[in-house]
Chains A and B, each alone.
Chain A
Amino acid sequence: MLSFCIKRLIGLIPIGVGVVTLAALLAHVVPGDPADSILGAYATLEDKNALNKQLGLDQPIFKQILNYYKQVLHADLGQSLITQRDVTELIAERFPATIELAIVSIIVAIFIGVPLGILSALFAGGIIDLGAMFIALLGVAMPNFWLGSMLILFFSIHLDWLPVSERGGWQSYILPSLTMGTALASVLSRMTRNSMLDTLKEDYVRTARAKGVPEYLVILKHVLKNAALPLVTILGLQFSVILTGAVITEVIFDWPGIGSLVLEAVKTRDYPIIQGCLLVFSGIYLVVNLLTDILYAWIDPRIKYKSS
């Protein structure tokens, strides 16, 4: 198991190096002088030179990348061009709000998606299955920014039950987490259904039934436990989708997280913040994928042997 983890960890190094390089080169995506795109066409030459110096853009590209590596390794992501505050500090300030919302959304998605999938599988082919799967399809097709607006319209404006925006008590989490979690709930319900239908056909399920084990125990102990395996992978893969969804959800609900931070930075062309957020989002993606791989190998030892 340890060698499997080490192997996976080593595999991450080239990807990490690539992502940092990408972030370092971000300012060069636009043709021409990056200072022009940040300060606008009417900036003086002195201003441009000063900015290029601050961002290290006056150095050769190779040196810029190397310097950025050094910075990242020292957990120094530079300073915001607008507020002059440390990017690491800004991200650390906003990060908890995003992670909290993401975790609550995943819990909401599990509580909606898994039971819906189980019901669908147990009544496969029937009207319940059809209804549940149609709801799941709608959930995937609904853009989350639209769902968010509709939830505000109905629950906050029309019924006046829940707050429109800002992070506060538990009530403030309901609408944003539903907005973020609905698509995941739909994916989970489809996966649960498919996985359960596969497991229901297994020999050990037939054996359990033949032994006279009550049906609810067959489902709980034999089917659900084994059908949960693919869900681990899906949850891992979808975590980064949830985080990306945070950008839009945070804008709709005025949530003070990393998503709204990155949008402000993109609009003001605050490169250091954009670079920092890019690293954080990608870093989380890589770490979650690694943990998913390890967890999956731990649950299902066949994977470990196959990869070695």
Chain B
Amino acid sequence: MNPHHIKTLKALVLNPRVLVGLIILGIATFCAIFAPIIAPYSPEYSELSLRLAAPSAEHLLGCDIDGKDVLTSMLYGARVSLYIAFLTVILSVVLGLSIGLVSGYYRGWVDSILMRLVEIVMAVPTLLIAMVLSALLGSSSHNIIFAIVATGWASSARLIRGQVLSIREKEFVTASRALGARDPRILLFHVFPSVLTPLVVHATFSLSGVIIIEAGLSFLGLGAQDETPTWGALLGQGRAVLTEAPYLSIIPGIAIMFVVLALNFLGDGLRDVLDPKKSR
């Protein structure tokens, strides 16, 4: 690690927004990974006599409509929600990065075609396409991921293309080309590292967007219908009994809000440290 990297890392750790974001996100990820150990009950365990039981010492967050422990459902729900969000963003970003790199670097007709495609995809609302795809393909978590990636890649592609357009004119790229480097090498070793910073910031913000879209789909009854409900699905279930058991709606909403807030903090902090020109 060179001194510049150490300085950046230090600035990251010392940035309060990054720190708060990482702590909240860390807690959520910890809960998701260790759900089987920390959850007080098994996710399948339910007792009908405890239907809509209010929070108590045995059931800290109460019980849901089937008499299942809400805390357990929330911990297991974190697994599905975060898994879908992370995988969706990774796939969208990788696809968007590849298209953006090719489009911005080669320009010409390749760029024209790819950018028209981006514009078409961006003209279609993500939630609408995701709703249609998940309804048609069936509501498994992998179909949900596919449904969101189908439109989610476009914004990354546009961002990366814009960056590459200016980077490809920089002296270090010209120098590398003059030294005989081929396009794949230039793209991988010179252009890619330069777009990494805006990409990381973009991916962080995208994560929060995907969490909200996935929860929205589940809320509408079009989300992943796997055995373990996501936070959005728990919120949707709570809506039916809003008057009798308001905590069933309040708790998953707060969890979603905290994670999204943490991701926004993290995104803002990362931008402050890594990309000071664009920060405020």
Q: List 12 A-B contacts (CB under 8 A).
A: A22-B124, A30-B136, A138-B257, A141-B208, A145-B219, A146-B253, A149-B235, A152-B242, A157-B243, A240-B125, A247-B127, A247-B128
From residue 195 to 228 of chain A, which have CB atoms closer than 8 A to chain B?
197
Q: Please give, as numbers and ranges, the residues of chain B lying within 8 Å of A240 by CB-CB distance.
A: 125
B135 within 8 A of A: yes
0/1 string, B243-262, CB within 8 A of A gives 1: 10010011011001110110
Determine the residue in chain B with the shortest Cβ distance to A34: B136
The reply to whether A269 and B135 form a contact with Cβ atoms under 8 Å apart is yes
0/1 string, A17-32, CB within 8 A of B gives 1: 0110010001001100
Tell me whether A18 and B137 are in contact (CB under 8 A): no
CB pair B120–A18 under 8 Å, yes or no, is: yes
Which residues of B pack against A, CB within 8 Å? 116-117, 119-120, 123-129, 131-133, 135-137, 208, 212, 215-216, 219-222, 232, 235, 238-239, 242-243, 246, 249-250, 252-253, 256-258, 260-261, 264-265, 280
Chain B residues positioned under 8 Å from A297 (CB to CB): none
Q: Does A140 contact B (CB under 8 A)?
A: yes
Which residue of chain B has its CB nearest to the CB of A29? B136
The reply to whether A248 and B242 form a contact with Cβ atoms under 8 Å apart is no
| Chain B residues whose CB sits within 8 angstroms of the CB of A262 once the complex forms | 128, 131
**A14 on the interface (CB 8 Å rule)?**
yes
- State how many angstroms separate the Cβ of A258 from the closest Cβ of chain B: 11
Determine if A244 is an interface residue (Cβ-Cβ < 8 Å).
yes
Q: Given A145-B219, A146-B235, A244-B125 in contact, is the A263-B253 Cβ separation under 8 Å?
A: no
B239 close to A149 (CB less than 8 A): yes
A22 in contact with B261 (CB, 8 Å)? no
Q: Given contacts A143-B212, A197-B280, is CB(A281)–CB(B125) below 8 Å?
A: yes
Q: Which residue of A is nearest B243, CB measured?
A: A157
A267 part of interface (Cβ distance < 8 Å)? yes
Check if B136 sits within 8 Å of A143, measured CB to CB: no
Within 8 A of B (CB), among A243-293: 243-244, 247-248, 251-252, 262-263, 266-267, 269, 274, 277-278, 281-282, 285-286
Q: Are A141 and B264 in contact (CB under 8 A)?
A: yes
Bound-complex Cα distance A282 to B126 (A):
11
Chain B residues with CB below 8 A from A165, complex form: none
CB pair B215–A143 under 8 Å, yes or no, is yes
Evaluate contact between B216 and A263: CB separation under 8 angstroms: no
List CB contacts (< 8 Å) of A1-47 with chain B. 14-15, 18-19, 22, 26, 29-30, 37
**A197 nearest in chain B by CB position:** B280
Q: Given A137-B261, A146-B253, A263-B220, answer yes or no on A244-B126 (Cβ-Cβ < 8 Å).
A: yes
C-alpha spacing A202/B256, complex, angstroms: 40
B103 CB, nearest partner CB in chain A, Å? 16
B124 touches A281 (CB 8 A): yes
Q: Which residues of A contact B249 (CB under 8 A)?
A: 146, 149-150, 153
Q: Is B124 in contact with A282, judged by CB distance below 8 angstroms?
A: yes
Report how far A157 CA is from B249 CA in the complex, Å.
14
Q: Are B125 and A285 in contact (CB under 8 A)?
A: yes
CA–CA, A76 and B172, complex, Å: 56
Q: Are A15 and B119 in contact (CB under 8 A)?
A: yes
Bound-state Cα–Cα, A167 to B215, Å: 26
B171 vs chain A, min Cβ distance (A):
25
With A37-B136, A263-B220 known to touch, is A146 a contact of B261 (CB < 8 Å)?
no
**Distance A137 CA – B245 CA, assembled complex (angstroms):** 28
Question: In the complex, A52→B43 CA distance in Å?
Answer: 44
On whether the beta carbons of B250 and A150 are closer than 8 Å, the reply is: yes
Q: Assuming A19-B120, A269-B135, is B242 touching A149 (CB within 8 A)?
A: yes
